[in-house]
Structure 1
Amino acid sequence: MKPANHPSLPTPKIGVLIANLGTPDNYDYWSMRRYLSEFLSDQRVIDYPAWKWQPILQGIILSKRPFSSGAAYKSIWNHDLGESPLMTITKAQTNAISAALETEFGDDVVVDFCMRYGNPSTKSKVAALIEQGCDKILFFPLYPQYAGATTATANDAFFAALADKPWQPSVRTVPAYFDHPQYIDALAGSIRDAYENLETKPDLLVASYHGMPERYLTQGDPYHCQCQKTTRLVREALGWDKDKIVTTFQSRFGPEEWLKPYTVEEVARLAESGKKNIAVIAPAFSADCIETLEEINEEIKEAFEEAGGESFTYIPCLNEQPAHINALTTIIKENLQGWT
């Protein structure tokens, strides 16, 4: 028997913690500055020495960029709920996954979400799961393709959140799922559905992935190769010839060379070469966000049209589509084997 003064212990449960990149709390200057400072201070994202980078970041970039980034966020903001689309979609994904797992495991599995930058923080959500009795936690970064600047830094934050716990739970992390059959089928299905509803069929599909400096590839980051494989597997699932889809990279930041071709330049080149009707999809993003809703559907679309393009179709991320939720739930259950 436990002694009378023994602390109470909750019933053991399994936690599933879904992680996405993050979002500012609002689009005003100070909310944007806090968010951008945290994001751009991450050495997994910008790996310049702090003594060199921080004066530039804090003194130059963060005096101006919060205004332009805030305007971009305002243009896509979910004003009804007072949050970014990424937050709205991640909540919906979490609820759908939780409902799917509940049908099989009841209340033995607890599903929640966190953000690498901003709120809710990884640290706060890890603490909440432990408080609910989760002695096992599966951490799931929602990045199909692995990159040090996404998957690895999310894992860093997760492990750091455990550092001060007197009783650490057993933990697992979900690996990249860039070639998982259900993820590929969900992407292919979303493309088929989009094409069926178009009066003018695209001449080409652009698969636009978030970019990274070229030197990360030479340092051993597998992201570029995993992106290329995702594109190939989607093309094969659709039964398309190689000339029907192209892989590009967006969101270049800073002076150095990034992975090429750059999406914004490639869509202009396509328009100038006679490809007047294109569609764009963003397979590296599990949910629509500033990089898709504003960058692709506004900036990149504008570059295409200014170069003579006529029809530009953005195919939304998989978001909370049933096929996507089924894929994510299957991946979670595969990684829970031996625990459930």
Structure 2
Amino acid sequence: MPADSDTALLAVNLGTPDAPTASAVRRYLAEFLGDPRVVSIPPLLWKPLLYGLILPLRGPRSAANYAKVWMDEGSPLLVYTRRLAAALQERLPHWRVLPAMRYGSPALRATLRDLRAVGVRRLVVLPLYPQYSTTTTASVADLVAEETQGMDVTLIEDYSTDPGWVAAVADSIRRYRRQHGAGAHLLFSFHGLPQRVADAGDPYPQRCRDSAEAVAAVLGLAPEQWSLSYQSRFGRERWLEPSTVDVLDRLAAAGVRQVDVACPGFAVDCLETLEEVAMGLAEHFEARGGRLAYIPCLNDAPAHADALANLARCAAGSDA
């Protein structure tokens, strides 16, 4: 990393616990679920529920799930985000490129303050959420606005149909299916949102649809060869539909025995892709007589780093 560069790129991901333990998970979830962008219930109602019921119950259960996917280097989300940032640094040699987490470590707020302290004046912020949502990208934007007064900041809000990114996703799916065989159906599974968030105007569902359609078009898939769904439901309220588990159940009932699942809403693999999809939903579908093949996220693949580096250059108006 160039020590004297006044231009920086921050690759910002959601975040992760520091360890697969109940206490670490509770600390992480307290920060994450305490963000009003994530949960908009008034604090007087939400905090007693969060600290009195949700964290005590979810902490141990989530810790056990994290332990299933934990790597020698740490949480998959952090490991792959760091590797992706390193790949971006190779492509942007005259910039400072750093990973940061909206929740947990390395903390976005502290990283922004460090960059200001060393004299960075031009900053490109890349939230690693291809599809814009008020619950993710806007939360990053809120914090960046608080900490970067006087700096030249560009926030990349959405790259859901960026040609380079779409091509990278399509190529990863094509390559996987060439190596492992193609299932009868391709399912694009995105992280879900409460339906009320979409009803309030959040464009996320349409951005997910745009991404899936763009990738399917590059792959040359007919409409009946692919579907879109939403995973990771939480709580009792209505979430975006169709749910991934419901789509898998319908496919199994229709006699489909091999399904490939890709998660193009996730820049890198994490708990939701590895434990929820590759393990949990694969087991669920197998119990219904099928086989689910999970196609890994782009992670630090060269094509992914190339696409994101190009986004950063364009955002900064730079050829660096």
What interval of TM-score do these two structures reach, taking the shorter chain for normalisation? Answer: over 0.9
Secondary structure of residue in 1 paired with 2:281: helix
- Aligned runs of 1:45-194 on 2, under 5 Å? 45-78=38-71, 80-81=72-73, 83-102=74-93, 106=94, 109-162=95-148, 168-194=150-176
2:312 is the counterpart of 1:332: yes
2:15 is the counterpart of 1:22: yes
* Match of residue 207 from structure 2: 226
Compute the displacement of 1:279 (Å).
Answer: 0.4
Compute the displacement of 1:12 (Å).
Answer: 6.0
Compute the displacement of 1:265 (Å).
Answer: 1.8
Cα pair 2:189 2:230 within 8 Å, conserved: yes
* Match of residue 286 from structure 1: 267
Aligned length: 318
Secondary structure of residue in 1 paired with 2:135: helix
2:274 is the counterpart of 1:320: no
Cα pair 1:122 1:161 within 8 Å, conserved: no
- Match of 2:58, as an amino acid? R
Compute the displacement of 1:155 (Å).
Answer: 1.3
Tell me the distance in 1 between the aligned counterparts of 2:185 and 2:158. 27
Tell me the distance in 1 between the aligned counterparts of 2:136 and 2:248. 25
Cα pair 2:313 2:319 within 8 Å, conserved: no
Tell me the distance in 2 between the aligned counterparts of 1:153 and 1:290. 21
Cα pair 2:5 2:96 within 8 Å, conserved: no
* Match of residue 3 from structure 1: none
Secondary structure of residue in 2 paired with 1:149: coil
* Match of residue 5 from structure 1: none
In structure 2, stretches of 5+ residues that fail to align are none
2:198 is the counterpart of 1:198: no
- Match of 1:297, as an amino acid? A
Compute the displacement of 1:182 (Å).
Answer: 0.6
Tell me the distance in 2 between the aligned counterparts of 1:113 and 1:155. 16
Secondary structure of residue in 1 paired with 2:92: helix
Tell me the distance in 1 between the aligned counterparts of 2:160 and 2:116. 30
Secondary structure of residue in 2 paired with 1:66: helix
Closer/same/farther in 2, CA of residues 11 and 306 from structure 1, 3 Å limit: closer
Tell me the distance in 1 between the aligned counterparts of 2:208 and 2:250. 21
Secondary structure of residue in 1 paired with 2:136: helix
Cα pair 1:20 1:114 within 8 Å, conserved: yes
RMSD, aligned α-carbons: 1.4
* Match of residue 33 from structure 2: 40
- Match of 1:334, as an amino acid? C
2:235 is the counterpart of 1:244: no
TM-score (norm 1): 0.91
Closer/same/farther in 2, CA of residues 145 and 320 from structure 1, 3 Å limit: same
Compute the displacement of 1:216 (Å).
Answer: 1.4
* Match of residue 302 from structure 1: 283
Secondary structure of residue in 2 paired with 1:51: helix
Query: Equivalent of 2:249, from 247, 250, 268?
Result: 268
Q: Which runs of 4+ in 1 moved over 6 A?
A: none
CA distances 1:45-78 after superposition (whole Å, capped 9, x unpaired): 1111111111111001111111000000000001
Structure ID, larger Rg: 1
Compute the displacement of 1:339 (Å).
Answer: 9.4
More divergent stretch after superposition (210-219 vs 11-20): 11-20
Cα pair 2:298 2:304 within 8 Å, conserved: yes
Tell me the distance in 1 between the aligned counterparts of 2:133 and 2:21. 30
In structure 1, stretches of 5+ residues that fail to align are 1-9
CA distances 1:176-203 after superposition (whole Å, capped 9, x unpaired): 000000111001101110110124x311
Closer/same/farther in 2, CA of residues 339 and 28 from structure 1, 3 Å limit: same
- Match of 1:324, as an amino acid? H
Secondary structure of residue in 1 paired with 2:97: strand
